[in-house]
Amino acid sequence: MRPGKIKNICLLFVYITCLFMVFPNSVLAMHIMEGFLPFNWAAFWMVVMIPFVILGLRSIKKTVALHPSLKMLLGMAGAFAFVLSAMKIPSVTGSCSHPTGVGLGAILFGPTAMTVLGMIVLIFQAILLAHGGLTTLGANTFSMGIVGPFTSYGVYKGLQKLGAPRWLSVFAGAMLGNLLTYVTTSVQLGLAFPAADGGMTASILKFMSIFAVTQVPLAVSEGVLTVLIINILSVYSQKELQLLAAFTNGKITAVNQEAKA
């Protein structure tokens, strides 16, 4: 990435941060509707989100600095999340919801990179589509940009270690990442709106029955689509994937050695 581009990206985030400072009541944006989290909870999730965003920016910068050839692939992972979040798909429960598409990027680039990309998608939807919201951005980024990608990444890595075939690890990672995103949303709403009888647990279950059950077939779809893209990449983008395989093994120092080997 050229220095000019990095500067532009930094400026974008400065802009977003300023936006938050100018509208302090309105901090966050995604699957929980605008204004539907009490202020304290909205602020809490926002604060939780910030360190992950910083880590994500660092991780993206590092990836791109070490391997400029991965820039395009990173953009593609972001675009994938962008498309899938726009698809409101009917589900067997008779309502609609959408996949998140963050599993692919998390598996390729690590979970924190997707915190940043997921947040950008959420901001777009909150501002232009009134879907999600700026006040709920922190909570929604936490579910879609933190819990989802970390789950995908963890499940993928875990299954790979156990020797599962790659398609299975990718499928399970993307699917569970999507599912847990909405389980998290239910928990967030349940914490903020405890039921009069049964308290938090009762209302968490209630929200889960709305979000999470609807989400099961969509999670499977997301898993399948992610496998489909990985299949294509593993034929046409072998080189990039080899660079990344080194990446996702953790230590950056090991990357150069492996890339040379």
Residues 129-188 that bind other proteins (CB under 8 A): 129-131, 133-135
By beta-carbon proximity to other proteins, the closer residue of 121 and 161 is 121
- Return the amino acid letter for 171: F
Site string for other proteins, 215-234 (x = CB under 8 A): x-xx-xx--xx-xxx-xxx-
By beta-carbon proximity to other proteins, the closer residue of 13 and 82 is 82
Residues 22-61 that bind other proteins (CB under 8 A): 25-26, 31-36, 38-39
Residues 72-91 that bind other proteins (CB under 8 A): 72-73, 75-76, 79-91
Residue 137 CB neighbour total at 10 angstroms: 28
28 and 139 Cβ atoms separated by less than 8 Å: yes
Site membership for other proteins, residue 243 (CB under 8 A): no
Q: How far is the CB of 133 from other proteins (least distance, A)?
A: 6
Site membership for other proteins, residue 12 (CB under 8 A): no
Single residue of 189, 243, 244, 255 touching other proteins by CB under 8 A: 189
Name all contacts of 8-16 with Cβ < 8 Å and 24+ positions apart.
13/57, 16/123
Part of the chain binding other proteins (CB under 8 A), chosen from 5-13, 48-56, 153-161, 207-215: 207-215
Part of the chain binding other proteins (CB under 8 A), chosen from 7-15, 55-63, 109-117, 121-129: 121-129
By beta-carbon proximity to other proteins, the closer residue of 73 and 147 is 73
Q: What SS3 state is found at 93?
A: coil
Site membership for other proteins, residue 195 (CB under 8 A): yes
Site membership for other proteins, residue 259 (CB under 8 A): no
122 and 132 Cβ atoms separated by less than 8 Å: yes
Give the dihedral of Cα atoms 196, 198, 201, 204; nearest 10 deg. -50
255 to 66, 238, 242: CA distances (angstroms): 9, 16, 10
Rounded distance, CA 175 to CA 219, Å?
Answer: 5
Question: Minimal CA–CA distance to 149: which of 106, 179, 99, 116?
Answer: 106
Q: How many residues does the chain have?
A: 261
Residues in contact with other proteins, total (CB under 8 A)? Answer: 73
